[in-house]
Structure 1
Amino acid sequence: MSFIDEKDRNMFDVHVGTIKPVIGTIEEEEVFEEEKDLKRGLHQRHVQMIAIAGTIGTGLFLGSGEALASAGPVGTILGYLLTGILVSGVVISIAELAALVPLTGSYIRHAEYFVDPALSFAAGWNNVYLTVVSIPAEVVASAVLVSFWTTSVSNGVWITIMGLLIIVTSLCFVRIYGELEFGFAMLKIALIVGLIIMGLCIDLGGVAGQPRLGFQYWRNPGPFVQYLDIPGATGRFLGFWTVFSNAAYAYSSIETMASAAAETKNPRRNLPKAAKRIFIRVLLFYVISIFIVTLIVPSNNKLLLRSTGNASQSPFVIVATSAGIKVVPHIVNAIVLTSAWSSGNSTMLTGSRILYGLAREGHAPKIFLRTNRFGIPYLCVLFIGVFIALGYMTLQSSASMVFGWFQELVAAGTLVTWIVICVVYLRFYYGCKRQGIDRSELPWAAPFQPYAAWAALFGFGLILLTGGFAVFMRGHWDIEKFFGSYFNVPFILIIYFGYKITKKTKIVSLDDMPIRFYIDIANQNPETPEPQAKGWRRINILWS
């Protein structure tokens, strides 16, 4: 197979330790560069909690109120639930690929071998571009969150401090990142559990001076909202449809766990284990939390549409304040602040590893392959870190509009990322069928395939194309919304076809995919057996 031969002559950079080359006369075992340069510092508990942390963020704590105001209680729950189901399809798809081919850069590298080098180039640089605009957004969000407590210090100070924190922690051994995400995830889980209990107490009349609410707000103002005052079922459906874009942004970065596959211990065991629990986490943390919100806050509460960027816009804070619970806003703001830091760290990890992966495939300058003594591609981190300076644009009020565009672009780019993952997986799936490879031979075969990948591909494709539908309605044209919703579509197509025409790349045929090659590598390099859980670890449902 010509595709394998060409790659083997250049020494396949598979992260498996040591293997014998398939082509050539060399008999000695070779240590591949990716194994030598990057160090495995992420353990099972890190991967499990990174997967949890990736599903919990400002989209739940702050953004759920906007969804409730646009769609009503039933519309909001359905939107988050259906989006969570689609996202689960993306996660199990990328986990199956990463378990077989645990490369740094994840789906970007997989696209090179299972679809087209041009798609790898386009998706990779699209992700780098998203990284350099999303990290400044998180840094600025941190500054706004701090302003909840004090306005006497310039936001520029907090932008500088948070930017330096993200860069410094990203240059340390990857286990430092794992420990930070572990701690952040524990804080988020504790907050969500606490808010759910608080919400139930308020709803059931357990707070002095507050009546029992029950399902009162489902009846009045009602289960759905008439979006833009459009009458009838059409207005209610459009309100429900707006939740998908909101929920997609809330679930963004959920695929982060696979980006550092080459730095994960026993990735063929630990990545699938984390992926299999994604839907349960979505159900527990998002759907139940949103359900509680719909019980205690009416969808016509004007405070839900107040965009302050800090804890005061959280529906949990709104109801806690009205109930006289004064400490909740400060707790929520503090943990959302850690969420912004966590999100910045995750985005930096993903972006820098994808840039490293691009360099390994020859799609980026080779200088980005340099690593420090901790096994971190430090030049990738520093290159992305330079763009944190974009956050200073928000110090001038005239530039804040531009930053709003950045946030819209990140939301649309997340959908593009998920679509690419589904395309890569489906090509891989049908490559297995063409070559007569039973999926039971894989390190892990995801359930519900290929239906889960097809559903996610169709669903997110439809959401991407209709995400800015409101701008096409009479009297609602908004150039910022249109640009943010649709810029990514022509952007990635131009990069893809530009590279394809320039380099004359070809789509990898189903027969030439190196699937058997990777299966042989996995069989020749078995992972260490999982130790039997003892004591309290036997009932640990978070990361065991």
Structure 2
Amino acid sequence: MAISFGHHGPETDPIEISVPGIAGAHDQKFEFDSSSDIQSDHAAHGIGSSTQKSWTNRGVLDHIYPWIFHYDYLDRVLERHHITSIAISGTIGIGLFVTSGELIAIAGSGGCVLGFVLASFIVVGVMRSLAELVSVRPLSGALIDYPHTFVDPALGFAVAVTYFIAQCLSMAALTSAAARIADNFGPTGSPPLDKGKKVGIVVGLVALTLLSNICGVKTYGRLERIVKWFKILLMVSLCVLMIVVNLGGTGFPKNTSIIDQTVPSSHSENAFPPYFNPAGFGGVLPTDVSPDGKSLGIPGSTGRFMAVWTSVTLAMFACIGGDIVVVTAGEARKPRKDLPPATRYMYWVPLGLYFLASLIVGFNINFKDPNLFRAYSLSNTNTSHSPFIIIIKTTTIKVLPDFMNACFLFSGYSTANTELFVASRTLFALAQQYGNDFMRSTLGKTNNGHTPIAAILFCSSFGLLALLGLADPSFNQPILSLSAFFTGAIGCVYASECIAFLRFKAGLDLLHRRNVYSRDRDPYMSKHYRAHWQPTWAYVGLIGCILIVLFSGWPAIYILHSRHNLVADKDLKTNVQLAGDLIGAYAGPLLFCALYLGWKFWHRTHIRPISSLGVQLYILQERFPGDEETDGVHNAQDREGQTEPRRNGAFDSSTYGRPHGSQESSVQRLKRRAVLAWSLSK
């Protein structure tokens, strides 16, 4: 039997399909007007319709439109090494290289290490929860799907918008910080770059991030694989270099401020610098590093505790990034197989590398070093900020500081590049899930290469917010405010994911008691990742994120309340700058709450009862490459006797996060229809 269809014209040959015959059946031939079928298929995607032609005014855009707004799903082409590369590139940025100096100035070398460790454990709790969630529901827009499905659609909307805005502003903050690093090239004491050159650097970095993202996800994944190894090599090299410096292998010139000048200036004689332990915890908010010890702070053990806790809130900015693995769920080739181990692997980056790097750099620098960045002081102009650069400048290797500055600049650019990738995929999912018809037909579309060009272009425009840094001669306040917004907003998102996991597990426990489906038995244990020590890890992540959000702005509040008792406070930030810190710290959580309450009251949504979390939410109908078919899955489905209902605005996996094998072209779709028509005719 043969089925032929095609355009009846001179330019297109008919296509024949051979279908296995059935004994005793006569061959049948079906003819289709494929041109009309293709036109109807394009019309369903908003391509080639009369409405679209009038919208583009029947001009050149008629030809461009299908190449930008073609499909409504992403392409599953990312392998596990691509996924981990993208996540590592987005996690290891300039947060560690620059923020560690701020932490050392506030809490001392020991407090810096402890801050990174505590922040890392909060991230571990969130990542272990996400790893199990993504193994069960590896859908595109997964971070939005979990709170939407297991908690409340309003919470899913709040997570989507907050996460999107946070990633866009993080991209701007990283671009601004990278431009700030460019000031450090040249000898110590050289004047900073003029505003024109800084504008050129910012615009150039934004253009590079845009270019690397529109080349397609497969090319982007390959580039990020190179960046991953560059950053890992950079981290290892810095750790080795800090050890060599500490042992005196690079020389140690005179008149340095790295260690106290009252002791010999030889690292071989002073393996640990003064004030490392226990005095390295210091008092909170030191604003003057003069020998008289004048400072604004809380003395004693209370001050040391608050200094360490402040370092935890600041360290969260550097530790965030493992969630990027879940964002790639819609483009992972084998999502159920690759995403859970990649998610579990990612929390070792802050827990291992950050701990080691912050510990080693603390051996070589004093928390009273005047070159360290102090977040609440005005005396931060023309400083290197990064403790690694401060230490390297004291060595006898003259070319090394500029080389490391170039590495840090590239690291900042590559992290901003990843933030654009994450923001565009989040906007794509947001448009498809919660957007109106216009958003779904533009921001919710991909080009013929399954790249969301419209979403990428829209998100890249936020990178120009880095130009706001030009209003501040030292680029400090805009970076601090944007970074604080990012930390507070992502803290709300992380807390929502932990809540979603707790309800996810509560639903499974209910199914277990009903003897329907169990998390502790096959097929769940053989098919999905089962995180140990749950729900303890979820509670660690939830409580930690709530505390981070609540106390992220406390230093600004403390200074505003206490500065009237000071005789002279010229070294402190102005009230306007402190207000910027306060707005940056709490604008994200306030926006999150406003989005949640607004959507909830406008659409009258309700928190989903645990009793309504049926097995259809844990066993998806679609199959992904790499899945293992088991009889237990089908038995559990038969027990419940239902499929997942499609609620208003729910994630429709038929076009949203569909498996790699179902990404069919118009011709493939016609072939499938022909075979279906033949089978129905029998």
Pair 1:53 & 2:89 matched: yes
Pair 1:331 & 2:403 matched: yes
Aligned equivalents of 2:550 and 2:487: distance in 1? 13
One-letter amino acid of the structure 1 residue matched with residue 488 of structure 2: A
Aligned equivalents of 2:478 and 2:101: distance in 1? 24
Report if the CA contact (8 A) 2:97-2:408 is conserved: yes
Aligned equivalents of 1:405 and 1:76: distance in 2? 21
Pair 1:264 & 2:264 matched: no
**TM-score scaled by length of structure 1:** 0.85
Displacement of 1:393: 3.2
Displacement of 1:514: 5.1
Structure 2: gaps spanning 5 or more residues = 1-43, 46-69, 187-192, 253-265, 285-295, 564-574, 629-682
One-letter amino acid of the structure 2 residue matched with residue 366 of structure 1: R
One-letter amino acid of the structure 2 residue matched with residue 391 of structure 1: A
Determine the structure 1 residue equivalent to 2:248: 205
Aligned equivalents of 2:110 and 2:473: distance in 1? 38
Q: Specify which of 430, 433, 439 is matched with residue 358 of structure 1.
A: 430
Determine the structure 1 residue equivalent to 2:519: 439
Aligned equivalents of 1:267 and 1:485: distance in 2? 35
| TM alignment of 1:409-448, pairs within 5 A | 409-436=485-512, 437-440=517-520, 441=524, 443-448=528-533
| Partner secondary structure for residue 519 of structure 1 | coil
Aligned equivalents of 2:72 and 2:432: distance in 1? 13
Cα 1:78–1:390 shift into 2, 3 Å: closer
Displacement of 1:36: 7.0
Displacement of 1:121: 1.0
Determine the structure 1 residue equivalent to 2:562: 475
Could you tell which deviates more after superposition, 342-351 or 307-316? Answer: 307-316
Aligned equivalents of 1:399 and 1:60: distance in 2? 19
Q: Specify which of 459, 478, 499 is matched with residue 599 of structure 2.
A: 499
Determine the structure 2 residue equivalent to 1:29: none
Aligned equivalents of 1:67 and 1:293: distance in 2? 12
Could you tell which deviates more after superposition, 510-519 or 170-179? Answer: 510-519
Task: Kindly name which structure, 1 or 2, has the bigger radius of gyration based on alpha carbons.
Answer: 2
Displacement of 1:234: 0.9
Structure 1: gaps spanning 5 or more residues = 1-31, 530-544
Determine the structure 1 residue equivalent to 2:545: 460
Aligned equivalents of 1:461 and 1:470: distance in 2? 17
Q: Specify which of 197, 202, 223 is matched with residue 154 of structure 1.
A: 197
Determine the structure 2 residue equivalent to 1:373: 448
Cα 1:123–1:189 shift into 2, 3 Å: same
Determine the structure 2 residue equivalent to 1:163: 206
Determine the structure 2 residue equivalent to 1:301: 369
Cα 1:287–1:515 shift into 2, 3 Å: farther
Determine the structure 2 residue equivalent to 1:3: none
Report if the CA contact (8 A) 2:168-2:419 is conserved: no
Aligned equivalents of 1:106 and 1:130: distance in 2? 17
One-letter amino acid of the structure 2 residue matched with residue 357 of structure 1: A
Aligned equivalents of 1:470 and 1:445: distance in 2? 40
Report if the CA contact (8 A) 1:80-1:286 is conserved: yes
Report if the CA contact (8 A) 1:93-1:446 is conserved: yes
Measured on the aligned residues, the alpha-carbon RMSD in Å equals 2.7
Displacement of 1:219: 5.1
Report if the CA contact (8 A) 2:157-2:434 is conserved: no
Could you tell which deviates more after superposition, 379-388 or 83-92? Answer: 379-388
Q: C-alpha offsets along residues 436-491 of structure 1, whole Å, 9 cap, x if unaligned? A: 23225152112221111101100110121011112332325631222111122222
| Partner secondary structure for residue 213 of structure 2 | helix
| Partner secondary structure for residue 533 of structure 2 | coil
Determine the structure 1 residue equivalent to 2:280: 223
Could you tell which deviates more after superposition, 70-79 or 124-133? Answer: 124-133
Q: C-alpha offsets along residues 8-63 of structure 1, whole Å, 9 cap, x if unaligned? A: xxxxxxxxxxxxxxxxxxxxxxxx99997311221111122233333311111111
Report if the CA contact (8 A) 1:310-1:333 is conserved: no
Determine the structure 1 residue equivalent to 2:463: 388
| TM alignment of 1:75-224, pairs within 5 A | 75-149=111-185, 151=193, 154-209=197-252, 210-212=266-268, 213-218=270-275, 222-224=279-281
Aligned equivalents of 1:179 and 1:453: distance in 2? 33
Aligned equivalents of 1:202 and 1:230: distance in 2? 34
Displacement of 1:220: 7.0
Aligned equivalents of 1:205 and 1:403: distance in 2? 35
Pair 1:74 & 2:148 matched: no
Pair 1:238 & 2:295 matched: no
Aligned equivalents of 2:154 and 2:482: distance in 1? 25
Cα 1:219–1:252 shift into 2, 3 Å: closer
Identity %: 29
Report if the CA contact (8 A) 2:90-2:416 is conserved: no
